[in-house]
Amino acid sequence: MSDNAQTAAPEGGKRRGRFGPRGRQVTAQARHDIRLLLGDASRSRDLLIEHLHLVQDKFGAISAAHLAALAEEMHLP
């Protein structure tokens, strides 16, 4: 195996952990929009499609920010 093909750990032989959270970060505005839109509605997973329709109807599209906020609000991975 050539040296270029090896994946070496940084000096010291230990890999560093991730410094920040993974995935798309939710903006405060998107979080507020989704909470306001859903109101007291249930956050159960079986209502995902209905909630997506609400977002589509309200904003005309489902932005990445609103999608991430909805996933967070519904506790989806």
Domain-located, residue 50: yes
State the total domains in the chain.
1
Alpha-carbon gap, residue 3 to 77, rounded angstroms: 38
Please check whether residue 6 lies inside any domain of the structure: no
Q: Would you state the structure tokens that stand for residue 73, as one six-digit string?
A: 């609000």
| pLDDT tens sequence across 15-72 | 778 787 788 899 999 999 999 999 999 999 999 999 999 999 999 999 999 999 999 9
Contact 55, 66 (CB under 8 A): yes
Q: Please tell me the total number of residues recorded for the chain in this structure.
A: 77
Domain limits at 56? 25-77
pTM comes to: 0.73
Domain for residue 13, yes or no? Answer: no
Residue 2, domain member (yes or no):
no
Q: Residue 38 in 3-state DSSP? A: helix
* 73 within domain boundaries: yes
